[in-house]
């Protein structure tokens, strides 16, 4: 068996984040292997992307199960059958339960299109526009039993434009998702990530403490 980190990806939709992971593996930026892609939606385009990349796919229709834990138990079985070590939620539109989290303790990641803890839940970009923030972003975090709540691994900030619509803002947040999800998984693949309560500690993290995103940007060079 290869020594690469074995990923099980769960999705419900288009799968552009899956595509970003596939791309990063292809170019060697992510030292991992996607061993299975599981969807609760039979015609999710992410499954087509997975098949095109030669990745095994499984459909588990949540309607077929009497409870969320029963559904999760089926997910766990498929993930284990394929030898997944890290579970990567990539647009998976189901709440996961202790059944999945207990089977993969501190080994379930999610990506959310806002700077958590701001704007959890659905339509994060719509929430950000409605609130009037000038900076929003993207968060990769470990999953716990509360929605969009677990310890935060990587965030990217995205400036909001005055003329943004939900769609234009979504396009720019997604572009950052596609950058930071592979980065976050690679940190785990390198064994550099430890969870300490709510905080995630990354060994030898590159941090530029002088750098800030200011929006609207300062007009004078000396203020930037
Ligand atoms: C992403 O915006 C992610 O933040 C959210 O679901 C969306 C999935 O997009 N959790 P895609 O299917 O990867 O394109």
Tens digits of residue pLDDT in 123-139: 999 999 999 999 999 99
**Which residue's CA is minimally distant from atom 5 of ligand 1?**
91
pTM of the model: 0.97
Q: Is the pLDDT of residue 1 over 90?
A: no
Q: What's residue 221's pLDDT?
A: 73
Q: What's residue 4's pLDDT?
A: 96
Concatenating the DSSP letter of every residue in the chain gives: ---SEEEEEEESS--HHHHHHHHHHHTTSS-EEEEEEEESSTT-HHHHHHHHTT--EEE--GGGSSSHHHHHHHHHHHHHHTT-SEEEESS--S---HHHHHHSTT-EEEEESS-TTSS-SS-HHHHHHHHT-SEEEEEEEE--SSTT-S-EEEEEEEEPPTT--HHHHHHHHHHHHHHHHHHHHHHHHTT-EEEETTEEEETT----TT----SSPPSSGGG-
Q: What's residue 2's pLDDT?
A: 56
- List, chain by chain if needed, residues with CB within 6 Å of any ligand 1 atom: 11, 13-17, 46, 90-91, 111-113, 174, 177
Mean pLDDT (the chain) is: 96
112 included as an active-site residue: yes
* Domains of the chain with bracketed CATH: 5-223 (3.40.50.170)
Please tell me the distance between residue 174's alpha carbon and the centre of ligand 1 in angstroms: 7
């Amino acid at each position: 068996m290869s020594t690469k980190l074995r990923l099980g990806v769960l999705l419900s939709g288009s799968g552009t984040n899956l595509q970003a992971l596939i791309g990063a593996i292809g170019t060697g930026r992510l030292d991992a292997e996607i061993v299975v892609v599981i969807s609760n939606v039979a015609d999710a385009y992410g499954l087509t992307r997975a098949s095109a990349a030669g990745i095994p796919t499984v459909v588990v229709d949540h309607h077929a199960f009497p409870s969320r834990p029963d559904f999760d138990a089926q997910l766990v079985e498929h993930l284990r059958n394929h030898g997944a070590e890290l579970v990567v939620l990539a647009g998976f539109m189901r709440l996961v339960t202790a059944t999945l989290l207990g089977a993969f303790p501190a080994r379930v990641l999610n990506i959310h299109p806002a700077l958590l803890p701001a704007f959890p839940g659905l339509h994060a970009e719509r929430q950000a526009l409605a609130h009037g923030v000038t900076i929003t972003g993207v968060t990769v975090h470990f999953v716990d039993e509360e929605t969009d709540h677990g310890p935060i691994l990587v965030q990217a900030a995205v400036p909001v434009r005055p003329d943004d619509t939900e769609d234009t803002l979504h396009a720019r947040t997604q572009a950052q998702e596609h950058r930071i999800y592979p980065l976050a998984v690679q940190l785990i693949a390198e064994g550099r990530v430890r969870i300490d309560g709510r905080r995630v500690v990354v060994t030898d993290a590159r941090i530029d403490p002088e750098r800030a995103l200011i929006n609207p940007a300062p007009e004078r060079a000396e203020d930037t």
